[in-house]
A and B are shown apart, each in its own frame.
Chain A
């Protein structure tokens, strides 16, 4: 059990609360840095996939996990980011500026979409984002002059001011790692700003947040813009990883996979987005391994969908706090070893929050 003695006020708002954090995140970072040197190519590829997904998940986590704006259509922002990036590249914009421009474009589309839509709450917002995603998917398919329709848009290599980086190479891994770490730091810092505090206040209770002087509409719109931007960046990363961007990769199922990611990982935590991304990326591999063991399952093409559903149901019912919640419980169990009580993590509120009264 660690006792942290607070000696400065900064300690309350520091990113790394005490030296334990420095140590564990330091080890994690070193591991991430040396991973491609130790692992073979396949696993490095899987890691880059996880990085890209984690950034998408973070984008959704900012809106859903931290602000409580449930979005069923975040894959649309992935698509907007990726297609805008590809289009700017085709126009001859340098890679870095193209990424920045695409992310800004995604942010502004997210903001513009948010202005009318965020007057709705809860369910209606989820439906509106769903509709937005469906419309976007059709636009991606139909607007052939920009998106090349169902043929898909190809992303070959990253041209970093003349330095050509092939997808799947060692530098490619580090580019994605840098983007992920940058996004993680950005999100962690965002939560310490007034906007971040307002976000969490809104999630916990809109009425009390409003009473404390939080400007609901403004905060929500900014949050949606940031969330769209981060998801767009994730879309760009994923497009580079998979080297192709087709409307299929931005359908409703993708949006739901994003949602699955943050639920499985753990709602309302940055760790959750990364852990969830790892699960969602690894799950298809696990399924194919299971299929190798049980050849009778080979014919069932719907197995991945079913397993995704099963995992999701299991987490929602048995462990709503996700993998990160499990980890926290385990950590407390070790910390206080013989004294752990299950009731510590009991949910405080166990009644239905009605949405008819707001």
Chain B
């Protein structure tokens, strides 16, 4: 029965990986950008939730709410006015070159942008200070943090990542890595680098069944079950969203062919930023659901995304069901190998104890390397060779 416990725990962990991987894949499919900051966005979202739930110790001044609202309004108006003419319409083909050049030309543009970013930052700080003044219930904090995470994702794409269109792909990789660093530094500066935690309505609850005469009962943590349930709900929600809403269909179109989508009147830029927002919100929810299972979190929790990355690759990095499946494979493999693999390695292979205990920690990457070597494009390939 130990196996069942391990399986449930592994599936729950795998669901979190799967949700993070889903974020990677959503962004990659649409924009061909690999967002290495996914884990750090998750971390930031979790910290938002932490701030909302625990509340601040300092009293909140009454004027922070109107100032936050005012700042957001002014910021949004400025953003609209400045971006109306200046930003490129879409990000494909040589036809967009003149407009792209317009974007990068001129120093005043960067000044404007800096002003907007500063305004946004002030607004965000005020808004979060205001919202986190109370210490609200988990049920309220979850959607609120997801929205904040979404706004963070949207802003990252609209303000920073969109700016390096046309540079080679590694530029995006390095840029998002750097963004992740920045977020880790910001979170560490605001909330400190030590372990944090918050209580949820179901923290520490367990379900027991079976047992009796000489056998141990099966003990399953409710947090794991909530993760599995939450993942299922979110997958169904996303499916319905992509299948039936107008913007969902537009997102599918834009990720298949940006140029054609643009010709059909889809606002491709906006759609891409929305995709960033969605994947950030999904990551935030995954992070919040994960906290009661791990019991603690810190700014370093973003490193989880590297494992989630392995999940996305095993799933083929371009297929949404593949991402979830990859996450489950990695999660179950981690849970089972942590329990059984060291003994096997020590007893049968004869490895050193300290060495054998290290192997389960990297099992995800070993699986990923194996998949990459056997099928270089992942299990669900979508790369084709260009015919010239």
Residue numbers of A with Cβ under 8 A of B are: 64, 68, 70, 72, 116-117, 119-120, 122-124, 126-128, 130-132, 134-135, 138-139, 141-145, 149, 207, 252, 256, 259-260, 263, 300-303, 305-310, 312-313, 316-318, 320, 346-347, 349-358
In the complex, the number of residue pairs spanning A and B with C-beta atoms less than 8 Å apart equals 184
- Tell me, rounded to whole Å, the shortest Cβ–Cβ distance linking B367 to chain A: 9
**Residues on B with beta carbons closer than 8 Å to the beta carbon of A130:** 306, 309
- Nearest chain B CB to A146 CB, angstrom units: 10
Q: Please report whether the interface of chain B is mostly helix, strand, loop or mixed according to DSSP.
A: helix
The 15 sampled A-B contact pairs (Cβ below 8 Å) are A70-B173, A128-B368, A131-B310, A138-B358, A149-B354, A207-B388, A301-B188, A302-B184, A306-B189, A316-B171, A317-B175, A346-B101, A350-B96, A351-B165, A358-B384
Could you tell me if A145 and B175 are in contact, using CB atoms closer than 8 angstroms?
no
**Do A132 and B369 have beta carbons less than 8 Å apart?**
yes
> Known pairs A135-B366, A356-B383, A357-B385. 6 more at Cβ < 8 A?
A117-B369, A143-B352, A313-B178, A351-B94, A351-B96, A352-B166
Q: Tell me the chain B residues, 55-99 only, with Cβ under 8 Å from chain A.
A: 91-94, 96-97
Q: Do residues A252 and B386 form an inter-chain contact, with CB atoms below 8 A? A: no
User: What is the chain A residue whose CB lies nearest that of B309?
Assistant: A127
In the bound complex, what is the Cα–Cα distance between A140 and B299 (angstroms)?
A: 25
Q: Which residues of B contact A (CB under 8 A)?
A: 32, 34, 91-94, 96-97, 100-101, 110, 160, 163-171, 173-175, 177-182, 184-189, 193, 299, 306, 309-310, 313, 317, 352, 354-359, 361-362, 365-366, 368-369, 372-373, 376-378, 382-386, 388
CB distance from A299 to the nearest CB of B (A): 8
User: Nearest Cβ distance between residue A132 and chain B, in whole angstroms?
Assistant: 7
**B365: A residues at CB distance < 8 A:** 131-132, 134-135
Query: Are B175's CB and A300's CB within 8 A?
Result: no
Q: A138-B361, A305-B184 are in contact. Are A350 and B355 (CB under 8 A)?
A: no
Contacts of A131 in B (CB 8 A): 310, 365-366, 368-369, 372
A322–chain B nearest beta-carbon distance, Å: 12
Of the residues B164, B306, B385, contact of A134 by C-beta under 8 Å: B306
Q: Which residues of A have CB within 8 Å of B382?
A: 356
Report whether B165 and A352 are in contact in the complex, using a CB–CB cutoff of 8 Å.
yes
Residues on the B chain within 8 Å of A307, using CB = 185
Q: Which of B34, B179, B182, B309 gathers the greatest number of chain A CB atoms within 10 Å?
A: B182
A354 — which chain B residues lie within 8 A by C-beta?
A: 32
Name the residue on A nearest B369 (C-beta). Answer: A131
Asked if residues A312 and B309 are in contact (CB atoms below 8 Å), the reply is no
Question: Bound state CA distance, A122 and B33, in angstroms?
Answer: 12
Residue pair A349, B166 in contact (C-beta under 8 Å): yes
Taken together as a complex, chains A and B put the C-alpha atoms of A139 and B36 apart, in Å, by: 24
User: Chain A: which residue is nearest B103 at the CB level?
Assistant: A350
- Chain A residues within an 8 Å CB radius of B313: 124, 127
Task: State the CA gap A327–B168 with chains docked (Å).
Answer: 22
- Residue among B185, B186, B361 having the largest count of chain A Cβ atoms under 10 Å: B185
- The reply to whether B181 and A309 form a contact with Cβ atoms under 8 Å apart is yes
Q: Which residue of A is nearest B163, CB measured? A: A317
Contacts of B101 on A, CB cut-off 8 Å? 346, 350
Tell whether A135 pairs with B309 under 8 Å between CB atoms, given A260-B174, A320-B167, A356-B384.
no
Cα A139 to Cα B358 in complex, Å, equals 8
Interchain CB contact (< 8 A) of B372 among A117, A305, A350: A117
| Complex interface: chain B residues within 8 A of A134 (CB) | 306, 362, 365
User: Would A306 and B186 count as touching, CB distance under 8 A?
Assistant: yes
Across-interface contacts of B299 in A (CB, < 8 A): 302
Contact B160 A317 (CB under 8 A): yes
Q: How far is the CA of A261 from the CA of B160 in the complex (A)?
A: 21
- Determine the chain A residues whose CB is within 8 A of the CB of B317 once the complex forms: 123-124
* B376 in contact with A145 (CB, 8 Å): no
Chain B residue numbers with a CB within 8 Å of A70 are 169-170, 173
